[in-house]
Structure 1
Amino acid sequence: MVHRLREYGRVRSAKLSRKTVLISSVTAAFAVVGGGALIAEATSDRGGEPEGDEPVDETTQDPVGELLASMSLEDKVGQLFMVYVHGEAADTADTEAVASNRERLGAENGAAFVAAYRPGGIIYFDWANGLKDPAQIAALSNGLQAASTVPLLIATDQEYGSVVRIGEPATQFPGAMPLGATRDVEAAERAAAIAGAELRAMGVNHNFAPDADVNVDPENPVIGVRSFGSDPGLVADFAAAQVRGYQAGGVAVSAKHFPGHGDTSTDSHLGLPVITHTAEEWERIDAPPFQAAIAAGTDMVMSAHLQFPALDDSLAPATLSRPILTGLLRERLGFTGVVVTDALDMQGVRTGYGDDRVPVLALLAGADLLLMPPDFPLAYEAVLNAVASGELTEERIDESVRRILALKHSRGIVDDPETDEGAAAAVVGSDANRAAADDIADRSVTLLANDGTLPFRAASASGGVLVTGWGEQTTQRLASALAAQGLGVEVLLTGEAPGADAIAAAKGAAAGRDLVVVATRNVRAGSPQADLVAALAGGPAPVVAAAVGTPYDAAHVRGANAVLAAYSYAPASLAALAKVIVGAIAPTGALPVDVPAEGGGVLYPFGHGLGYE
Structure 2
Amino acid sequence: MHHRATTSRRTLLTVTAAAAAAAATGVATPVRAADDRRLQQLISRMSLEEKVGQLFVSRVYGHSATAPDPADVDANLKEIGVRTAAELVGRYHVGGVIYFTWAHNTRDPHQIADLSNGIQRAGLAKPTPVPLLISTDQEHGIVARIGEPATLVPGAMALGAGGSRSDARRAARVAARELAAMGIRQNYAPVADVNVNPANPVIGVRSFGADPEAVAELVAAQVKGYQRAGVAATTKHFPGHGDTETDSHYGLPRINHTREQWEKLDAPPFRAAIAAGIDSIMTAHIVVPALDPAEEPATLSRPILTGILRERLGYDGVVVTDSLGMEGVRTKYGDARVPVLALQAGCDQLLNPPHLPTAWNAVLKAVQSGEISEARIEESILRILRLKAKLGLFREPYVTHEGVDRTVGSALHLATADRIAERTTTLLLNEGGLLPLDRRERPHLLVVGADPASPSGTTGPPTATLAAALTELGFTAAALSTGTAPSTAKIDDAVAAAAGKDAVVVGTYNVSATSTQRTLVSRLAATGVPVITVALRNPYDIARLSGQRATLAAYSWTDVELRAAARVIAGRARPGGRLPVPVQRADDPAQVLYPMGYGLTY
TM-score interval, normalised by the smaller of the two chains: over 0.9
SS in 1 for 2:145: coil
How far residue 514 of structure 1 moved from its aligned partner, in angstroms, is 0.7
Q: Which runs of 5+ in 2 are unaligned?
A: 124-128, 452-459
- Give the distance between the partners of 1:36 and 1:380, measured in 2 at CA: 30
Q: TM-score, normalised to structure 2's length?
A: 0.93
Equivalent AA in structure 2 for residue 36 of structure 1: A
1:38-97 per-residue CA deviation (whole Å, 9 max, x = no partner) reads 799xxxxxxxxxxxxxxxxx9776221111111111111000100111111000242111
- Give the distance between the partners of 2:62 and 2:340, measured in 1 at CA: 29
Partner of 2:5: 7
In the alignment, is residue 475 of structure 1 matched against residue 463 of structure 2? yes
How far residue 541 of structure 1 moved from its aligned partner, in angstroms, is 0.4
**CA spacing shift, 1:209–1:265, aligned 2, 3 Å:** same
Partner of 1:405: 385
In the alignment, is residue 575 of structure 1 matched against residue 550 of structure 2? no
1:184-220 per-residue CA deviation (whole Å, 9 max, x = no partner) reads 1011111111111111101111111110010111111
- Give the distance between the partners of 1:77 and 1:503, measured in 2 at CA: 57
Greater CA drift, 136-145 or 485-494: 485-494
In the alignment, is residue 610 of structure 1 matched against residue 584 of structure 2? no
**CA spacing shift, 1:175–1:25, aligned 2, 3 Å:** closer
Equivalent AA in structure 2 for residue 455 of structure 1: P
**CA spacing shift, 1:194–1:158, aligned 2, 3 Å:** same
- Give the distance between the partners of 2:3 and 2:477, measured in 1 at CA: 62
How far residue 21 of structure 1 moved from its aligned partner, in angstroms, is 4.8
Equivalent AA in structure 2 for residue 519 of structure 1: G
The answer to whether the 8 Å contact 1:446/1:566 transfers is: yes
Q: TM-score, normalised to structure 1's length?
A: 0.92
SS in 2 for 1:447: strand
In the alignment, is residue 96 of structure 1 matched against residue 85 of structure 2? no
**Aligned runs of 1:528-543 on 2, under 5 Å?**
528-543=516-531
The answer to whether the 8 Å contact 1:135/1:422 transfers is: no
The answer to whether the 8 Å contact 1:25/1:61 transfers is: no
Equivalent AA in structure 2 for residue 189 of structure 1: R
1:117-148 per-residue CA deviation (whole Å, 9 max, x = no partner) reads 21110000112134122111100000000001
Partner of 2:89: 114
How far residue 538 of structure 1 moved from its aligned partner, in angstroms, is 1.3
Equivalent AA in structure 1 for residue 17 of structure 2: I
Greater CA drift, 369-378 or 526-535: 526-535
**Aligned runs of 1:44-443 on 2, under 5 Å?**
62-148=37-123, 149-443=129-423
SS in 1 for 2:534: strand
**CA spacing shift, 1:222–1:61, aligned 2, 3 Å:** closer
- Give the distance between the partners of 1:329 and 1:205, measured in 2 at CA: 23
The answer to whether the 8 Å contact 1:550/1:567 transfers is: yes
- Give the distance between the partners of 2:295 and 2:287, measured in 1 at CA: 5
**CA spacing shift, 1:39–1:171, aligned 2, 3 Å:** farther
- Give the distance between the partners of 1:353 and 1:6, measured in 2 at CA: 40
The answer to whether the 8 Å contact 2:15/2:35 transfers is: no
- Give the distance between the partners of 1:457 and 1:166, measured in 2 at CA: 36
Alignment counterpart, residue 575 of structure 2, candidates 569, 573, 587: 587
The answer to whether the 8 Å contact 2:131/2:394 transfers is: yes
The answer to whether the 8 Å contact 1:118/1:150 transfers is: no
Alignment counterpart, residue 17 of structure 2, candidates 12, 23, 26: 23
- Give the distance between the partners of 2:263 and 2:480, measured in 1 at CA: 48
Equivalent AA in structure 2 for residue 458 of structure 1: R
- Give the distance between the partners of 1:398 and 1:546, measured in 2 at CA: 52
- Give the distance between the partners of 1:60 and 1:317, measured in 2 at CA: 35
The answer to whether the 8 Å contact 2:448/2:482 transfers is: yes
- Give the distance between the partners of 1:21 and 1:461, measured in 2 at CA: 63
Greater CA drift, 518-527 or 206-215: 518-527
The answer to whether the 8 Å contact 1:36/1:295 transfers is: no
Q: Which runs of 5+ in 1 are unaligned?
A: 41-57
Partner of 1:501: 489
The answer to whether the 8 Å contact 2:192/2:237 transfers is: yes
Equivalent AA in structure 2 for residue 166 of structure 1: I
- Give the distance between the partners of 1:315 and 1:298, measured in 2 at CA: 27
1:384-421 per-residue CA deviation (whole Å, 9 max, x = no partner) reads 11112221111111111111111111111122111113
How far residue 468 of structure 1 moved from its aligned partner, in angstroms, is 0.2
**CA spacing shift, 1:59–1:493, aligned 2, 3 Å:** closer
**CA spacing shift, 1:82–1:569, aligned 2, 3 Å:** same
Greater CA drift, 91-100 or 289-298: 91-100
The answer to whether the 8 Å contact 1:8/1:70 transfers is: no
SS in 1 for 2:107: coil
How far residue 36 of structure 1 moved from its aligned partner, in angstroms, is 2.2
1:338-359 per-residue CA deviation (whole Å, 9 max, x = no partner) reads 1100000001110121000100
SS in 1 for 2:43: helix
Partner of 1:54: none
How far residue 526 of structure 1 moved from its aligned partner, in angstroms, is 2.2
Equivalent AA in structure 2 for residue 475 of structure 1: T
**CA spacing shift, 1:532–1:151, aligned 2, 3 Å:** same
Alignment counterpart, residue 545 of structure 1, candidates 523, 533, 537: 533
Report % sequence identity: 52
The answer to whether the 8 Å contact 2:15/2:39 transfers is: no
How far residue 316 of structure 1 moved from its aligned partner, in angstroms, is 0.8
- Give the distance between the partners of 1:219 and 1:227, measured in 2 at CA: 13
- Give the distance between the partners of 1:473 and 1:113, measured in 2 at CA: 37
Partner of 2:512: 524
Partner of 2:457: none
- Give the distance between the partners of 2:3 and 2:542, measured in 1 at CA: 57
Partner of 1:49: none
Partner of 1:555: 543
How far residue 454 of structure 1 moved from its aligned partner, in angstroms, is 1.2
**CA spacing shift, 1:450–1:39, aligned 2, 3 Å:** farther
- Give the distance between the partners of 2:194 and 2:35, measured in 1 at CA: 44
- Give the distance between the partners of 1:169 and 1:5, measured in 2 at CA: 43
1:355-390 per-residue CA deviation (whole Å, 9 max, x = no partner) reads 001000111111110001011001011011111222
How far residue 473 of structure 1 moved from its aligned partner, in angstroms, is 1.0
SS in 2 for 1:250: coil
Partner of 1:43: none
Equivalent AA in structure 2 for residue 526 of structure 1: T
Partner of 1:36: 28
Partner of 2:477: 489
- Output the aligned Cα RMSD: 2.2
- Give the distance between the partners of 1:458 and 1:533, measured in 2 at CA: 24
Aligned residues: 584
